[in-house]
Amino acid sequence: MPYVQQPVGELRLQTPRPMNTSWTVPRNATEYSPACVGFNQTKGASEACLTLNVVRPASIALHSSLPVAVWIHGGGYTSGSSSEKQYNLSFIVDQSVQMGTPIVAVSLNYRLHCWGFMWSNEMKEAGVGNLGLRDQRLALHWIKENIAAFGGDPAQVTIWGESAGANSVGTHLVAYGGRDDGIFRAAISESGAPSVYQRYPTPDDWQPYYDGIVNASGCSSATDTLACLRTIPTDTLHSIFDNTSIVPEHSISGLSGAKFIPVIDDDFIEGSGTVQLQEGKFVKVPYLIGANADEGTAFAVTGVNTDAEFRELVKDWGLDNVTTDILEALYPNIPQIGIPAIMDEKPPSGYGRQYKRVAAFQGDVNIHGPRRFASQAWSSRNVSVYSYRFDAVSPGNGPAAGSYAGATHGSEMPYVFHNGDGVWYDFNKTTMESIPDSYSHLSTVMSRMSDVYRAEGIKYIGDHLASSFGE
């Protein structure tokens, strides 16, 4: 179902606009809409993609007033869709019915990649930053206004996401200076947080990439380059956006390349999430925030063999020498205690001799440190906060399957969605079919629901790196 005017034509690269039309006859909303166009994502995708999906128990009356769970998908703000089969909300809604506590579930699309997260001086002046996040925000307002018609309670909305979706949830907690618009009463972040330990990209950081897009589009002589970009055919503009020689990909730890993350636009995002948490400028609602034990295997670069190479990787976060010295000491190259634990002692050939050290550090700085920092912020303000760690290693992520991913980033998802049959995970279907009953039980529990090593490292990252990325 559309929740805003579609961002096409003159509305491309504009803040989302509320619906301005209505209809008097029923409209068919039984099929998923196209995904939003993203990086290398065109099949089944469209610019006219700002829709949401509502899944409700068939047995409940329309006048019911059930709790509402709103799912925000991940994908690094560059890809993904609410229509992906792994995010099928039917399984989790069915579990809620079996528990005797039925819910209504909602998922939504938002603009991605350059369509939703491009930035420049022109965009700042026009007030069109953080478009994908603004899409999400307007969807939440739509839900508050309309969910009662589907048997949902607008006063019992929980926002929930994973990875970039979890960071999105965190951003809504600090948006507009932490203003409470009454559009949700609780929040869940799986492997993401309100604060991100990397520098927010400035308009000047993005300007070379924006200028490259403008030049490639033939808009360089236009008085209003944004207006010109709105006239370029979708396929043409998409090929320009996807051209990494024009918009180079940003590495997870490096300083160069285009960052597709929230930006400080002095409106939707007034300042650093870490600073706002320190100052108590966040929506005071109960928060469930957690992470997976081996998050770092999803982010770790391979081929790091020496202390000097590890040091360079740490410094690439933009850290000073003193901070880098401390982190080197807190993350020693001792393979027996790095991650993943399933990788016995030294990494296999090809990973790099310091892979487990790299994986430990990058998992902590990306996920575990921000999780700890947010948990402390909630606790310090006497707001309920709950934290978890998922450490179950699925058969497809273990050595028997030729993998050393462990309990990596995103590996909890089939269990959270009670997707034990491996729907969508076609690459792993045989493995999923052979999962022991214990995994099925874990899926049922999770869909309803301390390491000593690295403790000091996570504490240091949580306590000290916040100031490094507070600008």
The Cα 374–Cα 21 span in angstroms is 41
CB 227 within 8 A of CB 290: no
The closest alpha carbon to 437, from 406, 395, 399, 405, belongs to 395
Which residue of the set 122, 162, 190, 295 is catalytic? 295
Label the pairing between strands 287-292 and 152-162: unpaired
Which residue of the set 163, 168, 411, 443 is catalytic? 163
Distance of CA 452 to the CA centre of its chain: 28
Q: Which residues contact 295 (CB under 8 A, 6 or more apart)?
A: 191, 363, 366, 367, 368, 408, 409
What number of residues does the chain have?
Answer: 471
Residue 122 annotated in active site:
no
The Cα 448–Cα 102 span in angstroms is 11
The Cα 10–Cα 149 span in angstroms is 32
CB 291 within 8 A of CB 191: yes
Where does residue 270 fall: left (phi above 0), alpha (psi -120 to 50 degrees), or beta otherwise?
Answer: alpha
Residue 84 annotated in active site:
no
The closest alpha carbon to 393, from 291, 294, 290, belongs to 294
Q: Beta-strand (E) ranges in 224-367?
A: 287-292
CB 197 within 8 A of CB 369: yes
The Cα 405–Cα 347 span in angstroms is 12
Amino acid sitting at position 402: G
Residue 295 annotated in active site:
yes
Phi, psi torsion values for 289, nearest 5 degrees: -140, 130
Tell me the angle at which helices 355-363 and 307-315 cross, rounded to the nearest 10 degrees: 20
DSSP state of 38: B
The Cα 12–Cα 279 span in angstroms is 36
CB 462 within 8 A of CB 374: no
Catalytic residues: 163, 295, 418
